[in-house]
């Protein structure tokens, strides 16, 4: 007997028939004698609909109320999934995040899980129930409903698996595993049998939405056995996230290409070059809880510095307002501007550690297509570039080909 957490994404619970399908799979696992915790997302499109609704009443919705609204999507699907299971003769019970006591901090819309009380779930599992838990939501110490950021049900799944000491966390979605890149953009993309945890972390952090980054962080921290599978097929091993590089038999130099359309670039021009400038620019941004991704600083011959960084598109205006109101006069910057027509493309692979020339191959490939690189950042296993968003798909396709990632 194993304890398995199965997470089903929005397309997997998009209508009653698909929910029935989920219930049938859960029933099969239950019949094998396993204990099952099911985590579900809202029906696909539902979270977007709820956000749009909120924005009709307030352009920048109050975050506490926004979380109150968007968390309802998952409350519908837990009830429906429990019903589908009960109809099949299986004991099942739905749980909101608050009912489990998924305790988070109070950063509405991007809360972090602090603790999960596993007592209620354990007792019900031992009594033979399938526990159906709402993904994406938690509760802060004052009882306010919080949400974990878009795609956050993955994190609920993995965090529950960690808290319960589950044998495996299975992420069921609308693709049958992790591919060399998003198969919607490159149809020739190839499914990976396994990928190292480190590579998955980079791919997720660079925008591969197949797993939310925090779910991968949890899997790494608590060594959760994590697998991505199709909810539309009964056969197939999906993709296993492995912890040892040697376990990854494929051993390619580049494992995958990620991209992100969600970032915007902010440029602060003509800042007198003095110690403390980076802190004075980014300190107030951090204080406002705005995540910064890439950063570039360049000092010109005239002794002034140009400072460029990227933030989430949703937070560009907030960041610009902070800089213009609180920072520009103070540091004497000539100009502050924002550009949200950018995209980021990243190639990822642990093989980069032992191979030189990957960056030059990447830059040459982009140059041959006339694609201008606006920013570059690297880590030991990643090279990321920012380009004009209109070149994004072209860039991903040519890089996929140049690194020979397509089906062998
Ligand atoms: P769910 O609703 O099940 O959470 P998501 O839409 O969040 O599903 O994630 C699955 C989607 O991720 C796929 O449909 C695919 O378009 C996209 N995706 C992006 N990068 C990859 C990748 N490297 N491998 C597989 N899917 C990817
Ligand atoms: N329903 C939430 C979203 O659309 C969470 C999730 O699907 O993982 O972002
Ligand atoms: Mg998702």
CB-defined site of ligand 1, < 6 Å: 9-12, 41, 151, 173-175, 178-179, 181-182, 184, 208-210, 256
Measured distance CA(75)–CA(85) in Å, rounded:
16
Given this model, what pLDDT does residue 7 score? 98
Spacing, Cα 152 to ligand 3 middle (Å)? 7
pLDDT tens, position by position, 328-379:
888 889 999 999 999 999 999 998 988 889 999 999 999 999 999 999 999 9
Given this model, what pLDDT does residue 301 score? 83
Question: How many CB atoms within 10 Å of residue 389?
Answer: 16
Task: Return the sign of the alpha-carbon dihedral for residues 234, 239, 242, 248.
Answer: positive
- Best of 191, 209, 348 to mutate for ligand 1, by most ligand atoms within 8 A of CB? 209
Task: Return the sign of the alpha-carbon dihedral for residues 6, 12, 16, 22.
Answer: negative
Given this model, what pLDDT does residue 86 score? 98
- Best of 39, 175, 392 to mutate for ligand 1, by most ligand atoms within 8 A of CB? 175
Given this model, what pLDDT does residue 208 score? 95
Ligand nearest to the CA of 46: 2
Protein residue with its CA nearest to atom 6 in ligand 2:
151
Spacing, Cα 42 to ligand 2 middle (Å)? 6
Given this model, what pLDDT does residue 247 score? 54
Given this model, what pLDDT does residue 248 score? 52
Spacing, Cα 74 to ligand 2 middle (Å)? 8
Given this model, what pLDDT does residue 408 score? 63
pLDDT tens, position by position, 304-339:
999 999 999 999 999 999 999 988 888 889 999 999
Spacing, Cα 153 to ligand 3 middle (Å)? 7
39 lines ligand 2 (CB under 6 A): no
Count Cα atoms within 13 angstroms, Cβ side, for 167.
Answer: 7
3-state helix, strand, coil in the chain (%, to 5): 40, 25, 35
DSSP assigned state of 354: G
Q: What pTM was estimated for this model as a whole? A: 0.93
Given this model, what pLDDT does residue 407 score? 72
Given this model, what pLDDT does residue 299 score? 86
Question: How many CB atoms within 10 Å of residue 242?
Answer: 20
Given this model, what pLDDT does residue 354 score? 85
Given this model, what pLDDT does residue 274 score? 85
Spacing, Cα 330 to ligand 1 middle (Å)? 44
- Best of 13, 41, 81 to mutate for ligand 2, by most ligand atoms within 8 A of CB? 41
Q: Which of 251, 117, 238, 247 is nearest to 168 (CA)?
A: 238
- Best of 152, 169, 204, 314 to mutate for ligand 2, by most ligand atoms within 8 A of CB? 152
Q: How confident is the prediction along the chain (408 residues), in pLDDT tens digits per residue?
A: 899 999 999 999 999 999 999 999 999 999 999 999 999 999 999 999 999 999 999 998 999 999 999 999 999 999 999 999 999 999 999 999 999 999 999 999 999 999 999 999 999 999 999 999 999 999 999 999 999 999 999 999 999 999 999 999 999 999 999 999 999 999 999 999 999 999 999 999 999 999 999 999 999 999 999 999 999 998 899 999 998 765 555 567 899 999 999 999 999 999 988 888 899 999 999 999 899 999 999 888 888 999 999 999 999 999 999 999 988 888 889 999 999 999 999 999 998 988 889 999 999 999 999 999 999 999 999 999 999 999 999 999 999 999 999 976
215 lines ligand 2 (CB under 6 A): no
10 lines ligand 2 (CB under 6 A): yes
Write down all domains in the chain, each with its CATH number in brackets: 3-174 (3.40.1160.10)
Can you list the positions of beta strands (E) in 24-105?
Answer: 35-40, 92-95, 102-104
Measured distance CA(29)–CA(40) in Å, rounded:
17
């Amino acid at each position: 007997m194993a304890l398995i957490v199965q997470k089903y994404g929005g397309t997997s619970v998009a209508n009653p028939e698909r929910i029935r399908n989920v219930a049938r799979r859960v029933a099969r696992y239950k019949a094998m004698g396993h204990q099952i915790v099911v985590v579900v997302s809202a029906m696909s499109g539902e979270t977007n609909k709820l956000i749009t609704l909120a924005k009709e009443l307030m352009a920048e919705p109050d975050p506490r109320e926004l979380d109150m609204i968007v968390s309802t999507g998952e409350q519908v699907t837990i009830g429906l999934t429990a019903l589908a299971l009960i109809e099949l003769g299986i004991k099942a019970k739905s749980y909101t995040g608050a009912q489990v006591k998924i305790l988070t901090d109070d950063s509405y819309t991007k809360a972090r899980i602090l603790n999960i009380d596993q007592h209620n779930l354990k007792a019900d599992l031992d009594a033979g129930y399938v526990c159906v838990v709402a993904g994406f939501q938690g509760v802060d110490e004052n009882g306010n409903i919080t949400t974990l950021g878009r795609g956050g049900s993955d994190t609920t799944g993995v965090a529950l698996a960690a808290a319960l000491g589950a044998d495996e966390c299975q992420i069921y979605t609308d693709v049958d595993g992790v591919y060399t890149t998003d198969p919607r953009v490159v149809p020739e993309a190839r499914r990976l049998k396994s990928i190292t945890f480190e590579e998955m972390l980079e791919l997720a952090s660079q925008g591969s939405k197949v797993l939310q980054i925090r779910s991968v962080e949890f899997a790494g921290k608590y060594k959760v056995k994590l697998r991505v599978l199709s909810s539309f097929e009964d056969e197939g091993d999906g993709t296993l996230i492995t912890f040892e590089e040697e376990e990854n038999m494929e051993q390619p130099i580049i494992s995958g290409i990620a991209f992100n359309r969600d970032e915007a670039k902010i440029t602060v021009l003509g800042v007198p070059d003095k110690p403390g400038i980076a802190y004075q620019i980014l300190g107030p941004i951090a204080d406002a809880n705005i995540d910064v991704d890439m950063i570039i600083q360049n000092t010109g011959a005239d002794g002034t510095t140009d400072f460029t960084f990227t933030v989430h598109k949703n937070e560009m205006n907030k960041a610009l307002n902070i800089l213009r109101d609180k920072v520009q006069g103070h540091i004497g910057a000539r100009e502050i501007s924002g550009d949200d027509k950018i995209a980021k493309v990243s190639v990822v692979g642990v093989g980069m550690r032992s191979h030189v020339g990957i960056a030059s191959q990447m830059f040459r490939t982009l140059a041959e297509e006339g694609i201008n690189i606006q920013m570059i950042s690297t880590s030991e296993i990643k090279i990321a570039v920012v380009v004009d968003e209109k070149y994004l798909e072209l860039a991903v396709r040519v890089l996929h080909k140049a690194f020979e990632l397509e089906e062998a």
